[in-house]
Amino acid sequence: MPCARPSSRGGADLRQPGEYALTRPATAPPPFDGELRSLQFLRFAAALMVVLYHAGIAAREHGFLGPAQADWLRLSEIGKGGVHVFFVISGFIMVYATRRSERDWHAAGRFLLRRVTRIYPIYWFYCGLYLASHATILHPYAITPWDGLKALLLWPGYSAQIIGPGWTLSYEVYFYLCFAVCLPLGARISLNVLSGLILSAVGAGFLIGKGEASLEVLTGTLLLEFLAGVWTAVLVMRARPLPTLLAPIAIAFAIAGFLAPAVLGFPALPTVILWGVPSVALVLGMTLQERQGRVPHLVARLSPLGDGSYSLYLLHNLVLDLVFVGLLAVGAGDRHGWAWTALAALVCCVASGYAYRFVEAPLLVGLVRLRRRPPVTAATG
């Protein structure tokens, strides 16, 4: 997958939203409402996977890890799968979060407005932070103002120019547009039409080839992971309960699927198979387990960390560079390379937690209040 930065690190958001009407007989599983703790946990876990992968790359770029740590670097490549977990989660949440919404063009407009205000403002803020840091501390960006503007708009092919992981947000925005177009068509029809659109687009990609960055986004196989998340949500939310053993089997298959590539030397398989299939199994197993009323204690305790996963995802490349530059400035070397790498990853988590609390969350609250403010009308009397 493409990954620009100014370095080789890039990686997806993450949450979001179609409706799927449910009728629940008396023997159905427990109610499936509110925030899904399993998905919140997975959002944090997926972001952490990406951080650990990029931490290994950053440590190597700054001279903290060398050939002697090749095996550990290869193991960290499992973190690539975090992006694919994000994509599946996005498709799932689209269905789950809009399952009771109205079906008209106004609902589609509101859906897009929520997505735009969720993704862009904090992304722009962090872009400013990256630009300022690279201009004063790190290496300045070699991009034109026009390219920078396209990066701010998350235009395909340019969305990684400032924040490396921004390339995945281009896929997110495109899928939101497809979802919004289908949203007014009714529950079942909308999902069937959406599936037809995505499958046709991916099929067209095989026929016409790639090359152009915008075509990669419009026809890429990564779109299948969003679609798999959509239908996973439909499966989990169905009224008829699924076999109880399906959840642990899916989770075990997912764990084996993530670990196997490192053991096998990361075979040259399409990423939609290599990482997408275990990602779907993981989301299916975790959400089905919660639907059955079983949430592991660790998952429940760590699920609040999912709130800050977007900040962690966007900020970690910058934090990693700043940490390693700081370590070099105080004379730290590669003698304890993996310890410094683990420390850098930990700093990313702590910094993103504060960023969420003091930047992202207040910004989101302000935007929601602004969106809900009643229109001003002229006083009469």
Instruction: Quote the pLDDT of residue 1.
Output: 42
DSSP conformation letters of 145-164: HHHHHHHHTT-TTTTTSSST
Two structure tokens written together for 26: 């008396």
Q: Is residue 79 classed exposed, middle or buried when 0-12, 13-18 and 19+ CB atoms within 10 A define those classes?
A: buried
Nearest to 282 by CA among 306, 307, 230, 247: 247
Q: Is there a domain that residue 18 lies in?
A: no
Q: Is there a domain that residue 132 lies in?
A: yes
- The per-residue pLDDT string of the chain (381 residues; one tens digit each, 9 = 90 and over) reads 444 333 446 543 333 333 333 333 334 445 566 789 999 999 999 999 999 999 999 999 998 887 767 777 888 899 999 999 999 999 999 999 888 777 777 888 989 999 999 999 999 999 999 999 999 999 999 999 999 999 999 999 899 999 999 999 999 999 999 999 998 887 778 999 999 999 999 999 888 876 788 888 999 999 999 999 999 999 999 878 889 999 999 999 999 999 999 888 888 889 999 999 999 999 999 999 999 999 999 999 999 999 999 999 999 999 999 999 999 998 877 677 888 999 999 999 999 999 999 999 999 999 988 877 765 554 443
Structural domain range at position 256: 37-367
Nearest to 18 by CA among 90, 114, 99, 92: 99
Nearest to 83 by CA among 172, 175, 4: 172
Instruction: Quote the pLDDT of residue 318.
Output: 98
Two structure tokens written together for 320: 């990693």
Q: Is there a domain that residue 6 lies in?
A: no
Q: Is there a domain that residue 11 lies in?
A: no
Nearest to 223 by CA among 239, 208, 203, 209: 203
Instruction: Quote the pLDDT of residue 373.
Output: 72
Q: Is there a domain that residue 374 lies in?
A: no
Q: How many Å apart are CA 83 and CA 80, to the nearest integer?
A: 6
Q: Is there a domain that residue 298 lies in?
A: yes
Instruction: Quote the pLDDT of residue 65.
Output: 85
Under 8 Å between Cβ of 217 and 2: no
Q: Is there a domain that residue 17 lies in?
A: no
pTM, full prediction:
0.89
Into how many domains does the chain fold? 1
Q: Is there a domain that residue 174 lies in?
A: yes
Q: How many Å apart are CA 59 and CA 70, to the nearest integer?
A: 12
Q: How many Å apart are CA 75 and CA 263, to the nearest integer?
A: 9
Q: How many Å apart are CA 40 and CA 304, to the nearest integer?
A: 7
